[in-house]
């Protein structure tokens, strides 16, 4: 059976086929790095990881880009409030984000561009939009004229006539627009002003790019003019994704993304998360309370992405039990070691049915509840068969193991659970990250001999160090850790 996904733009369940056979180009709106991401953000990120893994399970090669929004109103406000350069706010937040990412066992996307390193590309996009007559300038800022963009607002199902600036677009109000519905592409700013923590030169004078433009520029840079899938949380439908479409299609004249997928929000104990309610938990908040990352991951993935997910502490306990049940079952069938996969045995038949039901459910717009119920059905029935022949193992248990392994390639909870029981190599990780920090400092002071010596020291303990453009990547034991490199002068 083939994969069908609900597309928010056409409001239909559609058969998924990438433009290039076998290869999926996917863009995911990443975190705004002004503060540590909360579990709501991680609901979206965990579901995007599930989608990515399921595409790979189906045999596709995936090229996923997830940006880091390291310049926008919120990051600038945080830096200005503390009177520090932008990177002093964003670098440590990125580090925390990548730490939480690893804790939950999320797969590394192929690219993680930082907005501050793509400003030149954003300026070029504004220039092309201007050449096409879609922009206007006012007091050093450049705006996108939505009235000149046919079909504007289709994604969010809104009628242009009734549009007003809301939510995160509201910040644009302080600038001078011809029409209140237009959005800013370039915000003019003064290098001398109090909040001048992020100012770049441009043909329109000093300033900074608008938030919506950042994602369009980074997506097209890495993935080309038309993506297969663009994802984000529902709050991104308007204005963010609506404006991304207008800008990107304004430049290329082509469809920006074939599919638009959105995750509904996470509630905590039935309520919207908010700082004032004190229910904006982070991953370390939960871990400190003694909850296992594998249970957190399971809970975040256990509801369909198009319905709100209610996070409760009872639910977290139940998730931990579900993970343990799967873990014990996998160990039991592993120990039984029933030889070849044989569909004619009793276990083989049960496993074949469960495997097919799992895939059919996931093919149906990632119906996780059905998929999980297929897997738990297998656990129940196979456990009965194992009990019946105890202490001898029935033949064909290998087939059950293959289904559980396939399930975990997609859900990734047992992999995280394995790490918890092996005790982890936390000490080695702490040592390695400290040594890498030291090595960065040696490199910054051009003491390359010392930097090389530290690298050799790391390698002697089995730590692999890779220097990427934006990060230093460490592979320690089974873990991958990315540490942001110090920001060079932006612009
Ligand atoms: P932000 O850091 O605010 O740019 O958000 C990062 C991602 O988290 C976006 O895809 C948001 O749509 C998503 N998001 C924000 N709040 C929630 C929530 N309560 N539940 C689920 N996803 C959310
Ligand atoms: Zn975005």
More confident residue, 54 or 427: 54
The DSSP annotation for 201-219 comes to: --TT-SEEE-HHHHHHHHH
Q: What is the DSSP letter of 68?
A: B
Tens of pLDDT along 169-182?
Answer: 444 445 578 888 89
User: Please, what are the domains in the chain?
Assistant: 18-263 (3.40.50.620), 268-421 (1.10.730.10), 423-484 (no CATH)
State which of 49, 169, 235, 241 you would mutate to test the pocket of ligand 1, scoring each by most atoms of that ligand within 8 A of its C-beta.
235
- Model-level pTM? 0.86
Report phi then psi at 470, rounded to 5.
Answer: -110, -15
Structure tokens at 461: 């303990």
pLDDT given for residue 119 in this prediction:
97
Question: Measured in angstroms, how far is the CA atom of residue 300 from the centroid of ligand 2?
Answer: 21
CA 92 to mean position of chain CA atoms: 18
What is the rounded distance in angstroms from the CA atom of residue 215 to the CA atom of residue 29? 7
* pLDDT grade for 338, boundaries at 50, 70 and 90: low
CB 29 near ligand 1, within 6 Å: yes
Q: Is the CB of 94 under 6 A from ligand 1?
A: no
3-state SS class at 224? coil
Q: Is the CB of 32 under 6 A from ligand 1?
A: yes
Residue 262 C-alpha to ligand 1 middle, in angstroms?
10
* Burial of 444: CB neighbours in 10 Å, binned 0-12, 13-18, 19+: exposed
Q: What are the Cα distances from residue 343, in Å, to 47, 293, 340, 379, 403?
A: 32, 35, 9, 17, 12
Encode pLDDT of 73-90 as tens digits. 999 999 999 999 999 999
Ligand 1 in reach of 412 Cβ (< 6 A): no
Lowest mean pLDDT among 9-23, 312-326, 438-452, 460-474: 460-474
Cα(31)–Cα(67) distance, rounded to whole angstroms? 7
Ligand 1 atom at minimal distance to the Cα of residue 273:
19
Tell me how far the alpha carbon of residue 41 lies from the centroid of ligand 1, in angstroms. 4
Enumerate the H helices of 311-469 as residue ranges: 313-336, 346-363, 368-389, 397-411, 413-421, 426-444, 448-460
279 close to ligand 1 (CB < 6 Angstrom): no
Q: Residue 478 pLDDT more than 80?
A: no
- For residue 48, report the distance from its CA to the centre of ligand 2, in Å: 14
């Amino acid at each position: 059976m083939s994969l069908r996904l609900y597309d928010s733009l056409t409001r239909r369940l559609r058969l998924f086929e990438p433009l290039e056979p076998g290869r999926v180009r996917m863009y995911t709106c990443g975190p705004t790095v002004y503060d540590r991401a909360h579990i709501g953000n991680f609901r979206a990120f965990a579901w995007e990881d599930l989608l990515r893994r399921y595409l790979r399970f189906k045999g596709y090669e995936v090229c996923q880009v997830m940006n880091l929004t390291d310049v926008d109103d919120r990051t600038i406000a945080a830096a200005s409030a503390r009177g520090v350069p932008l990177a002093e706010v964003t670098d440590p937040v990125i580090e925390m984000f990548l730490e939480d990412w690893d804790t939950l066992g999320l797969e590394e996307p192929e690219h993680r561009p930082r907005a501050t390193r793509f400003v030149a590309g954003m300026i070029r996009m504004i220039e092309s939009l201007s050449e096409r007559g879609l922009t206007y300038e006012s007091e050093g800022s450049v705006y996108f004229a939505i009235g000149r963009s046919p079909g504007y607002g289709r994604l969010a199902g809104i009628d242009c006539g009734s549009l007003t600036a809301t939510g995160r677009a509201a910040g644009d109000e302080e600038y001078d627009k011809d029409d209140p519905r237009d959005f800013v592409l370039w915000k003019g700013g003064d290098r001398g002003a109090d909040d001048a923590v992020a100012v770049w030169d441009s043909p329109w004078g000093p300033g900074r790019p608008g938030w919506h433009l950042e994602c369009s520029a980074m997506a097209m840079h890495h993935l080309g003019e038309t993506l297969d899938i663009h994802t984000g949380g529902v709050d991104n439908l308007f204005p963010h994704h609506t404006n991304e479409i207008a800008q990107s299609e304004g430049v290329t004249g082509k469809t920006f993304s074939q599919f638009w997928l959105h995750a509904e929000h996470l509630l905590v104990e039935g309520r919207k998360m908010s700082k004032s309610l004190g229910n904006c938990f982070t991953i370390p908040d939960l871990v400190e309370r003694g909850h296992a990352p594998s249970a957190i991951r399971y809970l975040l993935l256990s509801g369909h992405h198009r319905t709100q997910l209610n996070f409760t502490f009872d639910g977290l306990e139940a998730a931990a039990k579900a993970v343990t049940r799967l873990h014990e079952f996998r160990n039991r069938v592993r120990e039984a070691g029933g030889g070849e996969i044989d569909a004619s045995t009793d276990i083989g038949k049960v496993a074949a049915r469960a495997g097919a039901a799992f895939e059919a459910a996931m093919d149906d717009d990632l119906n996780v509840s059905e998929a999980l119920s297929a897997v738990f059905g297998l656990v129940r029935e196979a456990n009965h068969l194992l009990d019946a022949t105890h202490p001898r193992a029935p033949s064909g248990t290998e087939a059950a193991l293959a289904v559980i392994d396939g399930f975990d390639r997609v859900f990734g909870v047992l992999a995280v659970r394995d790490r918890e029981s092996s005790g982890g190599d936390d000490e080695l990780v702490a040592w390695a990250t400290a040594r890498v920090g030291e090595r960065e400092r040696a490199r910054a002071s051009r003491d390359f001999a010392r930097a090389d010596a530290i690298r050799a020291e790391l390698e002697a303990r089995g730590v692999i160090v890779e220097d990427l453009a934006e990060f230093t990547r460490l592979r320690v034991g089974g873990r991958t850790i990315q540490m942001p490199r110090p920001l060079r002068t932006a612009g």
